[in-house]
Amino acid sequence: MSGTEGVLVVSGTGTEIGKTVATAALAACAVRDGRSVAVLKAVQTGVAQGEPGDAAEVARLAGPRVTVAEIARYPEPLAPATAARRAGLPYVGPADIAEAAEKLAAAHDLVLVEGAGGLLVRFDAAGGTVADAARALAAPVVVVAAPGLGTLNATALTAEALGARGLTCAGAVVGSLPATPDLATRCNLAEWQEATGLPLAGALPERAAALPPARFRASAPEWLAPELGGVWRLADPGG
């Protein structure tokens, strides 16, 4: 089994797509392989101070051996730049994200950086994105995507945006795969690389986040391809 090290940015085709759950699975695989892991939720929006956000969800699923951190949070469930402006709070831009990730990387084998929403969501008034942070870090990007009808276009657009910025994709991961995939999903999985330009490197079952955490950690390698630290392979989806 190979795996991940250094800094990896976990982005996706949009919000509520399974980035946090996929991040927890990536972290769990690396911990199982004996690596020290930190997860940085760059900016959390839509969660009040003291409430559990994405970092807490990663800690719950991936376990106490994973260091979790968050740079800032803003109360309204909006893009970070918008939420910061409306709250009258300082922006957290790509350079801040890169600096925080580098600090964590000095003390961990693997740092996973989760953005907010998709790749081009704005973090500051200058329009800085998590793609800019990935560039500053020279970090590969994992693209978490939906499985069903419409995902091929959204994933291909994300692939183009990565390519235009000279960024490397570490693989696309389906964030939540139904137990009984419909026709579009089966066809999407079969055509993924050809249609999107990104290699498919895993798929989390839709029940993953509801599993008891110990079971989540034990099962995570089944959901991620060897290049992401697991043993997943695409079974014939019948598309």
Ligand X SMILES: Nc1ncnc2c1ncn2[C@@H]1O[C@H](COP(=O)(O)OP(=O)(O)OP(=O)(O)O)[C@@H](O)[C@H]1O
Ligand Y SMILES: C[C@H](N)[C@H](N)CCCCCC(=O)O
Q: Does 9 bind ligand X (CB under 6 A)?
A: no
Q: Name the residue type at position 85.
A: R
Q: Does 67 bind Mg ion (CB under 5 A)?
A: no
Q: Name the residue type at position 37.
A: V
Of the pair 129, 237, the CB lying nearest Mg ion is at 129
SS (H, E, C) 170-225: EEEEEEEECCCCCHHHHHHHHHHHHHHCCCEEEEEECCHHHCCHHHHHHHHHHHEC
Contacted entry of ligand X, Mg ion, ligand Y, none for residue 162, CB cut-off 5 to 8 Å set by kind: none
- 103 catalytic? Reply is no
Among 33, 70, 124, 206, binds ligand X (CB under 6 A): 206
Restricting to residues 13-42, which ones interact with ligand X according to CB under 6 A? 15-21
Q: Does 46 bind ligand Y (CB under 6 A)?
A: yes
Nearest residue to the partner Mg ion, using Cβ? 20
Q: Does 20 bind Mg ion (CB under 5 A)?
A: yes
Beta bridge partners of 113: 9, 40
CA 220 to the chain's CA centroid: 14
Spell out the residues 6+ positions from residue 1 whose beta carbon is closer than 8 angstroms to its own.
33, 221, 226, 229, 230, 231
Q: Which stretch binds Mg ion (CB under 5 A): 13-21, 70-78, 86-94, 167-175?
A: 13-21
Binding site members for Mg(2+): 20, 54, 114
